[in-house]
Amino acid sequence: MLIANFEKRLSSSRDKKTLLTKEIEAHEMLFDENKLPLPLEIHTNRRPIKGLHYTDGVINQLRDAYYKYIVQGADINEAGEYFYVSKKSIFDEKGELREKYLKEGAILHIDGRGRVAKKFPPSDINLHYFNEAMARFDYLQYLKNYKPEIAIEPPKRKLADIALQYVWEDKTISNQNKHEIAAQFPELNLKNGNKLYNKFLYYSHKTNRVNYDGSERQIRNYLKDMERALSFLTNPEHIKVAEKEIHEYKRHNNIN
């Protein structure tokens, strides 16, 4: 239930990383007294962990259960109390267990001195804190191992970097294939391939690639287009050519 609730909140969150981080922090505070020291005088109404409804007293009980059953590995079934009873009340004259205890399914314990004790199951309160501590601890482990699937958006393309990429890869954009190539980049919302074709023709001339002049802002944006196109190249020879021309462009415009 904790996991299902978290995943529901995560799916609608606009900042998944922060949600996950805060959820982990809250549950680490729940179990770690160094991250959340409780006052010597327990407050019954204070709820010190944002997002969790536990009061100081409840946190103290959960930490006790955590340390005993999770850290120390104690058996919850051994949490029930023992009450010593007389043998006569347990066994009849024949030494057989009285019918009352047979119906109850009583668990009897005989110690080293021959004394008989009736063992009671864990109390409801013990079971409650045990189950709550286990659920929260398992949830914390889930959160720590959680690897959110974050959709990685492909880099946004521009006419300039696409045209440059085709030039540096020795590919051709022609009147015959311009519409087909433009259709490969739906994010540009092109009606046809005419604009892409014109960009390609422009960048086909090396002078336009390395000797561009403009305002300082235009020069910087022009460089960004070249560097973006470079990032899409995979062939070492093409990369070498592109890097050389980018260097020439920087030298022409005195860019360090």
How many Cα neighbours within 13 Å face the side chain of 252? 19
DSSP 8-state code for residue 154:
P
Per-residue pLDDT of the chain (256 residues; tens, 9 = 90+): 899 999 999 889 888 889 999 999 999 999 999 889 888 777 678 888 988 999 999 999 999 999 999 999 988 877 766 666 666 666 777 767 666 665 555 566 666 676 766 666 778 888 899 999 999 999 999 999 987 665 555 677 899 999 999 999 999 999 999 999 999 998 889 999 999 999 999 999 999 999 998 899 999 999 999 999 999 999 999 999 999 999 999 999 998 7
Annotated domain spans of the chain:
1-73+124-152, 81-120, 159-252
Whether residue 20 contacts residue 143, with contact meaning beta carbons closer than 8 Å, is answered with yes
By CB atoms closer than 10 A (0-12, 13-18, 19+), residue 151 is exposed
Per-residue confidence (pLDDT) for residue 46, from 0 to 100: 86
Residue 82 bridge partners (DSSP): 119
Q: How many CB atoms within 10 Å of residue 29? A: 17
Tokens of 147: 């690897």
